Structure 1
């Protein structure tokens, strides 16, 4: 039975703070929070459920901060966030029925591909470019799929949303970051609702980490708005590669099992 001592809660608060800062700029906050909770002795299912609770504070704080400075219209993007939430509900429900080994297998390589795309694309900046997918197709096609993935598995959701907003919707990096956090908030709400109904949420841990996430996300979003593409692009590439390495380093990764490593 997990016991949340004061020392553990302090460390988890700091993990939430760091994750919120990173996630508000480039996504990948789960790379910090999930391992931190597992190392603290929290069972995997409760770690996933609690992670969705504390992530609400980070994505909500970042969304509000970006909206206050005019980088995203929350009311206008509300339907798209609902699509992300609906996809996440379905993903979280199916997570209990369908093994996620195939996702674990391909995800690191997808993240490396995303890092290469952003790293080698020379003209990415704050200026919007040509849209390659219609607004309706993006909102009702691409967004629910990523929301589904977030509810079912999760790591790299921010990177996938960033890639979609930049490559398909033609957004500049700062605008893409702002919209990514709001859609991530929507998918967090959907997945959290499912985990809440299954009793997989540790409220004390989630609220303490959520406080850290709220502060970190506020600082991270302000930092991103001040530095713009100059900091978003390299951090996005770094986070994507670091998350890929973290997943490949897991002894339970299917590729390592198949290779006998």
Structure 2
């Protein structure tokens, strides 16, 4: 595939934006995957390259939660183990789907996930007091990682937010602790699926490495913004970007006929 300067000009700001948004409100994948598709990457290369940049961007956030103690390692580690296995299975399944079909599935699923995340998330994120035995906590944590990790390997957008919801609803963690657990588990799911994509040669490093640097920078800036301003206006920003991306996809589909 021939890479052009315009591809970097389009991709890097969008990856920065996706990481920026993900650090504030979660759900950055609803922008990052369409960004790779937008510049013309086949679906499998888009998924693999996105996993690379997402993994690199998640390292600093995960380290921050561990360093500040806003994480239940007893649950997060078990969930991470489940997430590695689940995401590897999901990525293997994605590779079995023809690239054109996978792209269609992504373009249908991503707007649905985006609407659910950014219109219903506040309603869903109501913390309920839940008491679980150590054994039940381990079992639920592994299940969260396995199931959502499989989704992450197959598609991906919204994985972190779905994990936060599950840790909050099923284990009763406050949102900060749930976010910490989700960050570690999501990083593990990125590792599992990324290994599959790397072994199958589906990561375009010439794009993924610069995108990873933008992801790291975007996550850092997003965290600083969140501390000062919260998540105000983020949803409007997301829907404007998504609207422009999917207008382009719609035009491409019509022009191809």
Aligned to 1:177: 179
Q: 1:110 to 1:208 in 2, by over 3 A?
A: closer
1:119 maps to 2:122: yes
With over 3 angstroms needed to count, the CA separation of the structure-2 counterparts of 1:183 and 1:157, relative to structure 1, is same
Q: Which residue of 2 aligns with 1:213?
A: 215
CA distance in 1, matches of 2:232, 2:82: 27
Query: Secondary structure of 1:195's partner?
Result: helix
Give the unaligned 5+ runs of structure 1: 252-261
Considering fraction of residues, name the structure with more helix. 2
* Aligned position for 1:149: 151
Name the residue aligned to 1:31. Answer: 30
CA offset digits 1:39-63 (Å, max 9, x no partner): 2222222111100000111111211
How many residue pairs get matched?
245
Q: Which residue is equivalent to 2:253?
A: none
Equivalent runs, 1:1-261 vs 2, <5 Å: 1-5=1-5, 7-72=6-71, 77-97=76-96, 112-113=115-116, 115=118, 117-120=120-123, 124=126, 129-131=128-130, 134-224=136-226, 226=227, 231=230
TM-score (norm 1): 0.76
Runs of at least 5 residues in structure 2 that lack an aligned partner in the other structure: 251-257
User: C-alpha separation between the residues in 1 aligned to 2:232 and 2:209?
Assistant: 31
- Paired residues of 2:48 and 2:198 also in contact (CA < 8 A): yes
Report the counterpart of residue 255 of structure 1 in structure 2: none
Following superposition, the deviation at residue 159 of structure 1 comes to: 2.4
Give the structure 2 partner of residue 259 of structure 1. none
State whether residues 119 and 234 of structure 1, in contact with CA within 8 Å, keep that contact through their aligned partners in structure 2. no
Cα distance, 1:108 vs structure 2: 5.5
> How many Å separate the matches in 1 of 2:237 and 2:175?
15
Distance 1:246 1:41, change over 3 A: closer
Q: Give, in whole Å, the separation in 2 of the partners of 1:138 and 1:245.
A: 37
How big is the shift at 1:139? 1.3
Conserved? CA contact 1:27–1:239, under 8 Å: no
SS of equivalent residue, structure 1 residue 139: helix
Q: CA deviation at 1:166?
A: 1.9
- Whole-angstrom distance in 2 between the partners of 1:110 and 1:32: 11
Deviates more, 1:71-80 or 1:167-176: 71-80
Q: What is the deviation of 1:247?
A: 10
In 2 relative to 1, CA 245–181 (structure 1 residues): closer, same or farther, beyond 3 Å?
Answer: farther
**2-side partners of 1:163 and 1:109: how far apart?**
17
The 1:246/1:30 distance shift into structure 2, 3 A limit, reads farther
Pair 241,86 (structure 1): closer, same or farther in 2 beyond 3 Å: farther
- Partner SS for 1:96: helix
Following the alignment from structure 1 to structure 2, what is the Cα–Cα distance between the partners of residues 144 and 248? 30
SS in 1 for 2:230: helix
- TM-score (ref. length: structure 2): 0.77
